[in-house]
Each structure stands twice: as C-alpha cells, then as structure tokens.
Amino acid sequence: MFFGASMVLGTLSGWPLQNRLAFASACASLAVQQFGGSLAAPGWGDIADWWHSVRDHGSRDAYHTSLVRRYGFLDELVPTVPVGAVRRAAATIARYADVAQVP
C-alpha cells in the first residue's frame, strides 16, 4: 500500500523512475517499522528526519556514502521541513481507559 502510494506521488510529480523507486522503498521501509496499518504511513517529517539522519551521519563508510548518493534527490524535497514536523497520523478512536467516565 505505502509503496504503491509513494510511486503514484512520484509519478504525478514527474520524478524519474529511479527516484520514484527509491522514494517508494524508503516510505515502505519507514512504514513497516511502526504498528497501525495506514496509521504507520510516514509523514513528511518522518521522511525528513530519516533523510537528515542519513545525510548528517558522521560516518562516511561505503554504506552511508551509497545512501547519500542514492537519496540525494530528497534534498530538493525536504530542505525546509523542520526535524520532527508532520509526523505519522494518530489514532482517532480512544481507548476505553482514555475516555472520562460521565456519571
């Protein structure tokens, strides 16, 4: 679901296939790290946080160098998103314990 939605976003935005596939893979990877079905979908803040942590990582080993090269196009997409902004969606159904009991 997340991979497909990310591919559609990239396609509608006119991105090259290589960038669409990379973006879709990153979004799907971030989504499966959380519980919640559709609530696990990463927001732009989640994507920005991940990209900034990869880009600004102190180590310049082959793995991080390849990530920076592969996802460098994200610099154009998320440069102004503050870290921690626009996070994943939150559930709108309250748990029974969260609801105040009305007499």
* pLDDT single digits (tens) 73-94: 998 888 665 655 556 555 555 5
DSSP3 helix / strand / coil % (the chain, rounded to 5): 55, 0, 45
Query: Could you tell me which of 90, 63, 73, 94 has the C-alpha nearest to residue 20?
Result: 73
Q: What is the pTM of this model?
A: 0.73
Return d(Cα 13, Cα 69) in angstroms, integer.
21
pLDDT score, position 93: 55
**43, 87 in Cβ contact below 8 A?**
yes
Segment 68-75 shows an average pLDDT of 91
Q: What do you get for the CA distance between the two ends of the chain, in Å?
A: 43
User: What integer is the mean pLDDT of 49-70?
Assistant: 87
